[in-house]
Structure 1
Amino acid sequence: MYTLYLLTKEVKTMLALLGFLMIITFMILIMTKRLTAMIALMVVPVVFALIGGFGKEIGPMALDGIKSVAPTGIMILFAILFFGIMIDAGVFDPIISTILKVVKGDPVKIAIGTAVLALLISLDGDGTTTYIITISAMLPLYKRIGMRPLILAGIAVSASGVMNLLPWGGPTARAMTALNLEMSDIFTPVIPSMAGGILFVLFMAYCLGKKERKRVGILEIDYSTMAMQQTAASAEEAGIKRPKLIVVNYLLTIMLLVALINEVLPTTVLFMIGFAIAITMNYPKLSDQKARISNYADNALSVISMVFAAGIFTGILSGTKMVDAIANTMITHIPDAFGSQLALITAILSAPFTFFMSNDAFYYGVLPLLAKAAAGYGIDPAFIGRASLLGLPVHLLSPLVPSTYLLVGMVGEDFGDLQRTFLKWACGSTAVMILVALALSIIPL
């Protein structure tokens, strides 16, 4: 019954205000460390739903949100297990060895190397894969020389944020579908902006590396061989390395990534099948399988619980129509004088919009409204579609993105600390991409 009241302007305004207050309260609580992100994701939306008079609908709305994130949660679970098996079997040891030989003990080279690795792995379009491989390869090195793991997490999420524009990454496909346009209309023209974002990420890595170099210095000794020997020795003692299967494991990993990119099966199903094959092939004994799964149980549980907690937040935010009210309020308050700049406005708004709401809500709910409004000023919907992608570097720092919880869990850092440190850099990536888009007339000014 409450949806009927959305027809009145007063209720729309009230819901928008309630939504803004809920999001602001949530951000303050986690960034000041008054509550953990998981607790805040569950408690804050329930409190504001009660304030808004939605007490009877809280249960169904929360369940709808949990159901919506269930496939993602399951996918992350089996992705953790699959890549955990690959790590244990020694698949990434050669990568780590190569990186160690190149960057040695220089924090600047390590930071840039992290960015390059994350950018390359992000080509598969999946943030989860990027984080698991990048963190697994680089975290031992960061710990070895005393660099902060938060820097590693920030570089990884920044690289993934720019590469999130790839058509198979999700947001671009949603934009094309919502506006009924082709890849050549939306993604191809934005490639120069994406290149600008990549250069900014490398610049960011250089700056952060210089700060870390000043803090910890440069290790003069060539410790790479020793570190690898220690890692290999401890692993061999535990009997978990599978050097004879390394080629087969590489082939399995490549086949899985190719299948993910080509969407042969749903992502969740592919990771489940991949994990089943990987653990059976590498550890045929049931006792070994139980040991490997137990080894990653703590990490998996902390991440998955966060994903389902985020489901309650998004379910209530959407179910109460607060997210719709927020979108309508922001759109309707754009002055007519700025109508001709709607493409630029869309590019700027895409950052907070995709930060505070899901990609589905933005691209299927808000983007068509922006395109329709822009059409009244003679602006091609393709320009609006391109502009909507430019805020994606900010999106991955949203508390509504499940893979980011995996990232902070792997490095053992706090979500609020990651946001506090890297939101400004994410805004910088977006600003550079917008400037490139304007300079090259990818979007009109």
Structure 2
Amino acid sequence: MLAVAGLLTIIGVLIAIMSKRLTPLVALIAIPALAAIAIGQARSLPSYMVDGISTIAPVAVMFMFAILFFGIMNDAGVFRPFINFTLKVCGSDPRKLFIGVVVITALVHLDGSGASTFLIVIPAVLPLFDEMQIDRRILACLVAMSAGVNNMLPWGGPTIRAAAALDIPVMELYQPLLPVHIAGFLFVVATAYWLGTKEKRRLAGANRSLNSSFECVATSQSKITWTLNVALIVIVIGSIIFSLLPPVVAFIGGSLLALLINHSSVEKQKQCIDNHAKPAFMMVSILFAAGCFTGILRHSGMLDAMAQGGSGLLPSLLVTHLPFFVALIAMPLSLLFDPDSFYFGIMPVLSGIAVDSGGAAQSVAHGALLGQMTTGFPVSPLTPATFLLIGLTRIGLADHQRFSIPYLYACSLFMTFIAVLTGVISL
């Protein structure tokens, strides 16, 4: 009874979200609430929801202040000197240019927002690609690979969702993935160099060169302010990576200091907060809704019942190696499931099956994070940022997917290999 109710609840949430009949906020709260009422647990429903919200609160607050912190830095043009320097150094050498694009994207994507990353990076480098008559699909692919891999950051959407769905501290989930993340980024750099070498040969054969110089966009910050901002970024990220401070505390403190450094008046501080309030509210509200969803499914017993039933239905080989199989198909799953429906609907069940068969819930999350809405998000039609990427580069979705998916999937498989090699995922 409980297993069937849980399965119908998850299917209902998936259909409602993917068909766009309900927003994720409504679907994640209303459907499991109705299921709890249907199985006779209406009296306990409020406590289930409160328990779920309580577990999700630190993650939601961390994400809210992470958006504010990096939003302030982007608005202040902190990354602009790095972009200008990279473009100046790269010149007309496609190998340097492609690696520069990857590095710029990684820096800008520190805020975890694909949309803002594409809006900053693409307009800055697209004129170079057009001047050199380089295929725009290559630019879209390079940006997609760098942003995709770096979507694994502990304040990135997929990692936060995975930690929230499994009620695991986000840094506890991310730290084993750090070597895998670094290896994935090095794979992207190597791929950029390889593509650049191919493009350099093509340009040499066509006798093409870059004639014009590109004007660097100046930042309005003073050197002192810029230095303070860079130091603040290093301190905040360093304190998180080395576990000197809880992520939520690091971003709260970083946001407060960033406001004081960059905005002297109260009115400017209010305006800055208002500018970033909408994206912060949208994500935080979904996270709290997800807390209600997982709280209801977990405390009502539906999640445990599905895990026990699922472990008996799946082939023993698949159950034993579930994290590895999840990693293998994680990137293609981005084309079928949006992050909310996968991480809040499907992954908890898969993790429950793994635990019921003697595995660890974290292993399934690690496998999922190697592709599902990380390397997979910049080509997924379920991600609005994908359409922004192809719109800015002015290429078609089909052309972008045909060109970029093989590289993104290869990156996902390479990270899976590294995860197995380092013991993050066991065979």
TM-score band by shorter chain is: 0.5 to 0.7
Q: Secondary structure at the match of 1:389?
A: helix
CA contact (8 A) 2:98 2:193 kept: yes
SS of 1:264 mapped into structure 2 = coil
Task: Report the equivalent of 2:150.
Answer: 160
Question: 1:357 Cα deviation (Å)?
Answer: 3.9
Given the superposition, is the C-alpha separation of residues 312 and 101 from structure 1 closer, same or farther in structure 2, using an over 3 Å criterion?
A: farther
- Structure-2 residue corresponding to 1:262: 242
Distance 2:421 2:253 in 1: 46
The residue number in structure 2 matching 1:324 is 304
Among 5, 16, 31, the alignment partner of 1:47 is 31
Shift of the 121–393 alpha-carbon distance from structure 1 to 2, 3 Å rule, reads: farther
CA–CA distance in structure 2, aligned partners of residues 49 and 209 of structure 1: 53
Instruction: State the match for 1:392 in structure 2.
Output: 369
Instruction: Give the CA deviation at 1:254.
Output: 1.2
- Quickly say closer, same or farther: Cα 1:60–1:173, change in 2 above 3 A: closer
Distance 2:227 2:90 in 1: 26
1:355-406 CA-partner distances (Å, limit 9, x unpaired): 834599579855443336xxxxxxxx9xx9878734422344599x9xx9xx
Question: Residues 282-293 of structure 1: matches in 2 within 5 Å?
Answer: 282-293=262-273
In 1: Cα distance, 2:426 partner to 2:59 partner? 36
Check whether the contact 1:25–1:44 (CA below 8 A) recurs between aligned residues. no
Distance 1:308 1:427, change over 3 A: farther
Percent identity over the alignment is 25
Q: In the superposition, relative to structure 1, how do residues 133 and 105 fare at CA in structure 2: closer, same or farther (>3 Å)?
A: farther
2:326 to 327, 341, 349: 349
Distance in 1 of aligned mates of 2:195 and 2:55: 37
Letter in 1 for 2:366: L
When residues 348 and 95 of structure 1 are mapped into structure 2, their CA distance, relative to the original with a 3 A threshold, is same
Determine the structure 1 residue equivalent to 2:7.
Answer: 17
Is 1:68 matched up with 2:51?
no
Superposed displacement of residue 131, structure 1: 6.2
Shift of 1:21: 1.9
Q: Which amino acid aligns with 1:348?
A: F
**Secondary structure at 1:394 match in 2:** coil
SS of 2:264's equivalent?
coil
Per-residue CA deviations over 1:214-254 (Å, capped at 9, x if unaligned) read 9xxx9945453x2x33xx3xx64xxxx23332222222221
Answer yes or no: is 1:86 the counterpart of 2:70.
Answer: no
What are the residue-to-residue correspondences of 1:62-141 with 2, within 5 Å? 62-103=49-90, 112-116=99-103, 128=111, 138-141=121-124
Kindly report which structure 2 residues correspond to 1:34-433, keeping only aligned pairs within 5 A, or say none. 34-35=20-21, 39-43=23-27, 46-47=30-31, 49-50=33-34, 53=38, 56=42, 59-103=46-90, 112-116=99-103, 128=111, 138-141=121-124, 154-160=144-150, 197-198=184-185, 201=188, 220=210, 222=212, 224=214, 226=215, 228-229=216-217, 232=218, 236=220, 241-336=221-316, 338=317, 344-349=321-326, 351=330, 356-357=342-343, 361=348, 365-371=352-358, 389-396=366-373, 428-433=410-415
Whole-Å Cα distance in 2 between the matches of residues 129 and 85 of structure 1?
Answer: 13
The 1-side partners of 2:290 and 2:375 are apart by 11
Change (3 A) 1:223 1:18: farther
Partner residue in 1 for 2:133:
none
Q: Secondary structure at the match of 1:284?
A: coil
Distance 1:121 1:105 in 2: 22
* Segment of structure 1 superposing worse, 318-327 or 242-251: 318-327
- 1:431: Cα distance to partner? 3.6
Structure 1 CA distance for aligned equivalents of residues 196 and 286 of structure 2: 30
Say if 2:152 and 2:181, in contact at 8 Å, map to a contact too.
yes
Letter in 1 for 2:79: F
Residue segments in structure 2 that go unaligned for 5+ positions in a row: 131-135, 203-207, 391-396
RMSD: 5.6
The alpha-carbon deviation at position 16 of structure 1 amounts to: 5.1
| Aligned residue in 2 for 1:376 | none
Size of the aligned set, in residue pairs, is: 379
Shift of 1:347: 1.0
Q: Relative to 1, partners in 2 of residues 1:346 and 1:258: Cα closer, same or farther, differing over 3 Å?
A: closer
